Structure 1
């Protein structure tokens, strides 16, 4: 569903109810027989309970079924929103909701090994599907374990809803067992959160949270569910998701500003588009492609926007920023008109604000007014939905800018600063080679998830992204361990014929590798590539560059053998030490119908370049440590 469509669908109000209790990490009851893969993971129309979107008809159909408790109302609200997958961990305060899930023929619950994994899986599901992912946890530690994933979704504007158990309302404030002020803790990192107070309205609370999660600028929402509310009786049927009447989204930019921006584009000598993650959130990749190709505008992307514009196109300048390509950073540095669409101009992109696009006027398109001129001054502010505003600009431009020399210059920069790497015979396996090998062995629409660190940068630099919603990573928060649980969510959101590859580092993988057990149990076809250098590699790289090589707490020489660990989990495992073994291991792992892990023992001294030091000048990127 596009943002244009979402914003026209309204959502209702509703809230939940839980109570304290020990966390029970068992298999949730509300599942159909067989694994998630067998139940049609990622198939279109695989939802066995609802064949049509929430409509008056679905409301009428649902109204024929009596609602008994607040928990059942919560489940009905999820069904009314056509939710299919839930990710969570069972526990005392959320137990009434799980009991109600037991009877749902539509909702499939995936029990994760840890609540943080549940939040990352839900986040990734939302990124790939475009619809809100749902995670559940009990009160106290269950809810606080979701916080990292909620904060991650908030930083990256990913649609997600968290449903958390809470102690009974009469116990709130008494420091009851497993009580935490969940709404207070999560208020700064949610788009909206609420505390459910009534079994009659809790379903509508959930519906409202679902509607808000993917309207306008997407983000995480949360409903805290006290146990007396979910256990309480109700005969009220929740409706389809509706947004509050006070919430409005501006889709079209001010026409006067659009006309001014269109004239500036026509007159530019060195124009460049900076495509941000908002292009993908707003399903505006096609509009971007048509706009850029008609007017022959070079396209630079941010890291969250990988896949928004095909990187094999001649106009693509790939990713800019701290570890962006040299040619992308040169284009940003020398453009005279920067057309930023759906980007918040974060510090990893801009480097030093005063040196970012120093000679450029800036057109800034964003659906969130708070982002306009927050970091980079917008000469032409255009508030609205990415696809809608691109079409507005398209309609107002009468001629393409005269920029032949500029495009030739961009081609020269590509030739001058290519993304290549040495393969010396006297050094161990280079990580870039591994990334390219996996890219070649998988389809163009393969989905890549990653943790955070050097492996994340090598993946985004050396994988060629040509389609949106195929890059799933942690950007603003930089969460190590994101990749493995994200692969679970991505796999369930993906089409059956899409490959899912997870790149992890040894340090990052150790943080959440327990979620491999979920992939095994659910028979999910994911390939995990561990780029193992026995370091927290990015920390080691910075220590070498800026801390005189003092490797404080960055050496991971005590890592397990990940191939054997994978086999212990029930997955397939391989260990690869040199180039001759890469092709066979990659082919076998990708062809294996189930979870597989390849432990690539890479060069421990391999570094990520290009690199712009924090707060530095993007135009003065370093290609080696000696240039920092």
Structure 2
């Protein structure tokens, strides 16, 4: 940022911009001042003045098929680009259809700005047509939200909301825009996007606290680094990699932290938690010092809190004080931005930990608990094999999006992530249907020469498959692999493991033929039934210049392992069903 509070200075345009004459034009000018390129939304009555003002803007609006898709696309855009994604909707059902996406962004601390239309201020509270208390509904699931009540200030409000979404702990913000405010006349030009002077998230940690934490880490026998999503958000991946490699400390990631450390490095233990690697969970269980960076220690990571890293002194680098000692007690809290604090720690380290035996132990666990799976040629296609085949056929910087369910876990476990901002998923909320609209947002945020692939499940894909029309209309080069087991697979796995195999409402044997559905939407469809079709079909789908969908019929009863039962001990992970 060019100053402490600025998101982006006003840019000089080619020629003089037309003067602002309405609240709606002020909204659009504020977005332009913030450097916004893309917006995702669905038109409607109360938001129509803002859309009319967009008519003359150079920003590109992507009309989505459903407002939930707009929110997920904006969320993924924010993850991949690092800049807030923008979603727009009208009042009432338009706004409420954003709720799932905003709740997802809030849980995962993703930068998103939502703009919603609202009935005229004189009608607010009268149960007018398509009226909803949008700020009230979304207050618990946004970082900040605003009700705009003045055409002279509405542009500055939008700029502040944009800046708030990005600065400090990132998250979604929302501005509710009554129609009379956006229609009203004003000549007030909004300034640059900035946060209030009173908003002062911590930057660097207290130097004495850093020195004490560094000394503890240097004296550890069994140190680990736990890299959370905050490492990626803070652009701290280079600092974390340098620190880990220089001081020889094994690195575990949370699911949102995937890509923060290259998984092909010998110090990488990959993801921990419910479906994490056996070696990551063993390291967490036996470490004596954990440097946790940018993580909120959610239950899918920790399992039972009492059994999580029971022998460890915990150093917690975190920008949000509310997350410190909320779930896991921090012995050495370091409040600040992850990038800055990792630099402080690097400078403060008195020595490399004497951890040769520990690193050898970690490699032993890798050999004892490899991420493999049984496979016979006459078995149905294993989903893990498909994920590995797509990984092998694509460049290292390919962006992967997913829905939620078993396919999401296989995409975590069997793809090798080496770069940040290449893993895009719904973590905390676990929103099925996220994958396809996320691929649309990711496609626009990614570099032109980056590939974008989506792994989805049949149940998850069916929830938002209408967004395929958007990919076709915009000729977006994305490839969707539907790992189709005709079950809502994770539910079926839990029913088999914990409910005596009583498969209530999890059998999805009424699924359409997704390859034919893709063709009906105007995309290119493929189908895989046998192993000998995988390599050729994967390559053919990736070669399509535009959207393609591969309906991959996988083993219907394949389960995700390792697995730690909910609330269980990470060190007692199951490797197959009879271990549960």
TM-score using structure 2 length: 0.99
Q: 2:239 — aligned with what?
A: 287
Deviation at 1:54, TM superposition (A): 2.0
Structure 2: state its 5+ residue gaps.
Answer: none
**1:381 maps to 2:333:** yes
Q: 2:26 — aligned with what?
A: 73
Q: 2:315 — aligned with what?
A: 363
Partner Cα distance (2:65, 2:364) in 1: 50
SS in 2 for 1:305: coil
Which residue, out of 5, 16, 29, partners 1:9? 5
| Matching of residues 464-483 of structure 1 within 5 Å | 464-483=416-435
Deviation at 1:58, TM superposition (A): 4.0
**1:393 maps to 2:389:** no
Partner Cα distance (2:541, 2:135) in 1: 43
Whether the aligned pair in 2 keeps the contact of 1:481 and 1:512 (CA below 8 Å) is yes
**1:113 maps to 2:65:** yes
**1:444 maps to 2:440:** no
Deviation at 1:246, TM superposition (A): 1.1
Partner Cα distance (1:534, 1:229) in 2: 49
Q: 2:440 — aligned with what?
A: 488
| Matching of residues 150-299 of structure 1 within 5 Å | 150-299=102-251
- Deviation digits for residues 439-497 of structure 1 (CA, Å, limit 9, x no counterpart): 00100000000000000000000000000000000000000000000000000000011
Partner Cα distance (2:403, 2:521) in 1: 20
Deviation at 1:425, TM superposition (A): 3.2
Partner Cα distance (2:153, 2:384) in 1: 53
Whether the aligned pair in 2 keeps the contact of 1:58 and 1:80 (CA below 8 Å) is no
Partner Cα distance (1:452, 1:192) in 2: 27
**1:498 maps to 2:498:** no
Which residue, out of 574, 593, 608, partners 2:545? 593
- Deviation digits for residues 309-358 of structure 1 (CA, Å, limit 9, x no counterpart): 00000000000000000000000000000110000000000000000001
**1:104 maps to 2:91:** no
Whether the aligned pair in 1 keeps the contact of 2:377 and 2:531 (CA below 8 Å) is no
Partner Cα distance (1:486, 1:262) in 2: 39
Q: 2:38 — aligned with what?
A: 85
Structure 1: state its 5+ residue gaps.
Answer: 12-52
Whether the aligned pair in 2 keeps the contact of 1:168 and 1:229 (CA below 8 Å) is yes
Q: 1:49 — aligned with what?
A: none
**1:455 maps to 2:400:** no
Q: 1:578 — aligned with what?
A: 530
Whether the aligned pair in 2 keeps the contact of 1:7 and 1:216 (CA below 8 Å) is no
**Taking structure 1 as reference, are residues 60 and 504 closer, same or farther at Cα in structure 2, changes over 3 Å only?**
closer
Partner Cα distance (1:94, 1:155) in 2: 27
Deviation at 1:424, TM superposition (A): 2.0
Partner Cα distance (2:389, 2:375) in 1: 14
Which residue, out of 538, 543, 559, partners 2:495? 543
Partner Cα distance (2:13, 2:441) in 1: 28
Partner Cα distance (1:228, 1:403) in 2: 66
- Deviation digits for residues 503-562 of structure 1 (CA, Å, limit 9, x no counterpart): 000000000000000000000000000000000000000000000111100000000000
Partner Cα distance (1:178, 1:555) in 2: 37
**Taking structure 1 as reference, are residues 300 and 451 closer, same or farther at Cα in structure 2, changes over 3 Å only?**
same
Q: 1:50 — aligned with what?
A: none
Whether the aligned pair in 2 keeps the contact of 1:153 and 1:159 (CA below 8 Å) is yes
| Matching of residues 311-460 of structure 1 within 5 Å | 311-460=263-412
Partner Cα distance (1:253, 1:309) in 2: 23
Q: 1:54 — aligned with what?
A: 9
- How many positions carry a matched residue from both structures? 580
**Taking structure 1 as reference, are residues 623 and 6 closer, same or farther at Cα in structure 2, changes over 3 Å only?**
farther
Partner Cα distance (2:150, 2:134) in 1: 18
Whether the aligned pair in 1 keeps the contact of 2:387 and 2:411 (CA below 8 Å) is yes
Q: 1:23 — aligned with what?
A: none
Whether the aligned pair in 2 keeps the contact of 1:165 and 1:224 (CA below 8 Å) is yes
Which residue, out of 527, 544, 547, partners 2:479? 527
SS in 2 for 1:163: strand
Which residue, out of 512, 515, 521, partners 1:563? 515
Deviation at 1:60, TM superposition (A): 12
Partner Cα distance (1:167, 1:232) in 2: 14
- Deviation digits for residues 69-97 of structure 1 (CA, Å, limit 9, x no counterpart): 10000000000001000000000000000
Partner Cα distance (1:240, 1:60) in 2: 18
Q: 1:133 — aligned with what?
A: 85
Which residue, out of 460, 463, 472, partners 1:508? 460
Whether the aligned pair in 2 keeps the contact of 1:59 and 1:240 (CA below 8 Å) is no
- The two structures, once aligned, show a CA RMSD in angstroms of 1.2
Partner Cα distance (2:371, 2:53) in 1: 53
SS in 1 for 2:387: helix
- Deviation digits for residues 216-245 of structure 1 (CA, Å, limit 9, x no counterpart): 000000000000000000010001101111
Which residue, out of 494, 506, 525, partners 1:554? 506
Partner Cα distance (2:414, 2:4) in 1: 39
